[in-house]
A and B are shown apart, each in its own frame.
Chain A
């Protein structure tokens, strides 16, 4: 659906995006993750044809964004970082204008659709200058999908929404991802975890990690963490000869909770279980502790710094 090939964007001395290549499949939700100033917005602006890349190419459905922008932009629905709204229009007028700009045929139907899925009924005929920030964000989302684009680009779509709306919006994004390709950017890692099929971690304009949220946690973690619940206290000597470290040990009523870590290369789980049971200690639970996306993110970003 979208192919980005060695995208670079410079602003004078600043290199905002540095040789970024990626692609998005049909019906995929791709998340851009990165700290402030990472270049997420700049990348999206190049994808949507707002910024001309300093070098590199963007193809949408095989159409080159720089060569044939008018055609390529038809496939894209874009919600910028700041929803681009006209304060002197009503919500309905605004969305109608967007639909006209995109040459939508059945405007009535599409307006009804976005009014419903973005819950805009309460403000439908209000002036945009008079509606709250959260509603502005929802109007922006409606703007991005009103022409039923095949690629939806959302720059921090849940910012400024209340918790209920955040959940609704994430669900909406997920359901949009069933029929469209979606690219979204966010700082909220759990959001990427929940909504995205694939995540790209960007820092200082460069790609520092990529994969499904699960795979990222596995691949990028050099150590595995295991949590155990056992019958009595365990001494370090039990693990002599194998590279296991005891991170934490605490008493839980009559049992003990233990956190162990070992290098990811060799799977020591069966060996651990054997040693514990052979020492006559009862093993109640053994669980892999997956690092959260937060932890991976921080470790990746730190590596680069």
Chain B
């Protein structure tokens, strides 16, 4: 426990004493804001057009749903943005320790590898949560000025949070495989993109077993459930297992490091 705290504080300091965290957070907020602004403008345009259309043909304008037009696509785009952003947070976690030689001090300190892993994991998760929380401001604006359905907003955020945990754990594992941060980031992005699109090829097969497996492995499918406002245990378990898998593999990777150097 002592180790988790010390390592957590060091990681947080190192994120925030360098400009890197600020650059990443700013870039992220810019992109998230851009997505949100465009979705909202498009929604507004659609609303105006449907009212005009109704006036022209003397009909009642069709109901416009802010959830379908703004909330759902925003959540999906936000999750996609994290596929690029999270590797930037996790790439240095172990790769940098290996490059600097500080791994030798961490692994000879009287702390278990779990304390090291959890300290780092929680630090990256904190930065991720800061980013996620900042985008929540947009949702608050929607709630004040519009009438979105609340469960999908909350479900979507829960889903993205769990999704983020899984990516952080996997990204950390990949970082523990190399001394090179850039390589770690690149491999992580490729892996996450692959998990994002893995179910695309299910349309080429009619074998339901394969289709089921692919869609079970697809993070998009699980995220979709949450964004609908449904907290499905299957999806919850999926993200948590993926997170645990990442942490477990990181531990194995440290053990191998002790063997091979």
Name A residues whose Cβ lies closer than 8 Å to a Cβ of B.
11, 45, 48-52, 69-71, 73-74, 76, 78, 80, 82-89, 93, 97-98, 100-103, 143
Quick check: B105 and A52 within 8 Å, CB to CB?
no
C-alpha spacing A55/B83, complex, angstroms: 43
Quick check: B10 and A73 within 8 Å, CB to CB?
no
Interface size on B, residues (CB 8 A): 28
B10 to chain A: closest residue by CB: A97
Q: Which of B5, B10, B108, B110 contacts A50 (CB 8 A)?
A: B108
A84 to chain B: closest residue by CB: B105
Quick check: A73 and B100 within 8 Å, CB to CB?
no
Quick check: A51 and B100 within 8 Å, CB to CB?
no
Interface-central residue, B18, B104, B105, by most chain A CB under 10 Å: B105
**Which residues of A are found within 8 Å of B109, using beta-carbon distances?**
73, 98, 101-102
Quick check: B258 and A70 within 8 Å, CB to CB?
no
Within 95-117 of B, Cβ neighbours of A (below 8 Å) are at 100-105, 107-112
C-alpha spacing A98/B112, complex, angstroms: 15
Quick check: B100 and A52 within 8 Å, CB to CB?
no
- Additional A-B contacts beyond A73-B108, A82-B104, A100-B2 (13; CB < 8 A): A45-B261, A49-B107, A50-B258, A51-B261, A52-B255, A70-B110, A82-B101, A89-B13, A89-B14, A97-B10, A101-B7, A101-B111, A102-B110
Quick check: B14 and A101 within 8 Å, CB to CB?
no
C-alpha spacing A233/B9, complex, angstroms: 78
C-alpha spacing A48/B108, complex, angstroms: 6
Quick check: A52 and B259 within 8 Å, CB to CB?
yes
Which 3 residue pairs are nearest across A and B when measured between Cβ atoms? Answer: A84-B105, A100-B6, A73-B110
Interface residue B3 (Cβ < 8 Å from any Cβ of A): yes
A153 to chain B: closest residue by CB: B108
C-alpha spacing A71/B259, complex, angstroms: 20
**Which residues of A are found within 8 Å of B105, using beta-carbon distances?**
78, 80, 84, 98, 143
Interface residue B260 (Cβ < 8 Å from any Cβ of A): yes
Quick check: A71 and B110 within 8 Å, CB to CB?
yes
29 A-B residue pairs with CB within 8 Å: A11-B260, A45-B261, A50-B108, A51-B259, A51-B261, A52-B258, A69-B112, A70-B112, A80-B104, A80-B108, A82-B101, A82-B104, A83-B101, A84-B100, A84-B101, A84-B102, A84-B103, A84-B104, A86-B14, A86-B100, A89-B10, A97-B6, A97-B10, A100-B5, A101-B109, A101-B110, A102-B109, A103-B2, A103-B110
**Which residues of A are found within 8 Å of B261, using beta-carbon distances?**
11, 45, 51
B3 to chain A: closest residue by CB: A101
C-alpha spacing A83/B108, complex, angstroms: 13
C-alpha spacing A83/B261, complex, angstroms: 16
C-alpha spacing A98/B108, complex, angstroms: 11
C-alpha spacing A50/B9, complex, angstroms: 23
Quick check: A88 and B14 within 8 Å, CB to CB?
yes
Interface residue B59 (Cβ < 8 Å from any Cβ of A): no
C-alpha spacing A73/B18, complex, angstroms: 31
Q: How far is the CB of A129 from chain B (nearest CB, A)?
A: 11
C-alpha spacing A239/B59, complex, angstroms: 133
Q: How far is the CB of A91 from chain B (nearest CB, A)?
A: 14
Interface residue B17 (Cβ < 8 Å from any Cβ of A): yes
**Which residues of A are found within 8 Å of B6, using beta-carbon distances?**
97, 100-101
Interface-central residue, B5, B10, B108, by most chain A CB under 10 Å: B108
Within 240-261 of B, Cβ neighbours of A (below 8 Å) are at 255, 258-261
Given contacts A78-B108, A143-B105, contact A87 B100 (CB under 8 A): yes
**Which residues of B are found within 8 Å of A83, using beta-carbon distances?**
101
**Which residues of A are found within 8 Å of B104, using beta-carbon distances?**
45, 50, 78, 80, 82, 84
Q: Which of A49, A71, A80, A100 contacts B101 (CB 8 A)?
A: A80
Within 1-38 of B, Cβ neighbours of A (below 8 Å) are at 2-3, 5-7, 9-10, 13-14, 17-18
Q: How far is the CB of B106 from chain A (nearest CB, A)?
A: 8
C-alpha spacing A76/B104, complex, angstroms: 13
C-alpha spacing A78/B100, complex, angstroms: 16
C-alpha spacing A103/B14, complex, angstroms: 21
**Which residues of B are found within 8 Å of A49, using beta-carbon distances?**
107-108
Q: How far is the CB of B92 from chain A (nearest CB, A)?
A: 11
C-alpha spacing A16/B259, complex, angstroms: 13
Q: How far is the CB of B60 from chain A (nearest CB, A)?
A: 62
Quick check: A51 and B258 within 8 Å, CB to CB?
yes
B2 to chain A: closest residue by CB: A103
Q: How far is the CB of A111 from chain B (nearest CB, A)?
A: 15
**Which residues of B are found within 8 Å of A97, using beta-carbon distances?**
6, 9-10
Interface-central residue, B6, B107, B109, by most chain A CB under 10 Å: B109
Q: How far is the CB of A156 from chain B (nearest CB, A)?
A: 14
**Which residues of B are found within 8 Å of A51, using beta-carbon distances?**
258-259, 261
C-alpha spacing A86/B7, complex, angstroms: 13
**Which residues of A are found within 8 Å of B5, using beta-carbon distances?**
100
B258 to chain A: closest residue by CB: A52
**Which residues of A are found within 8 Å of B103, using beta-carbon distances?**
84
**Which residues of A are found within 8 Å of B107, using beta-carbon distances?**
49-50
A78 to chain B: closest residue by CB: B108
Q: How far is the CB of B157 from chain A (nearest CB, A)?
A: 32
C-alpha spacing A82/B260, complex, angstroms: 18
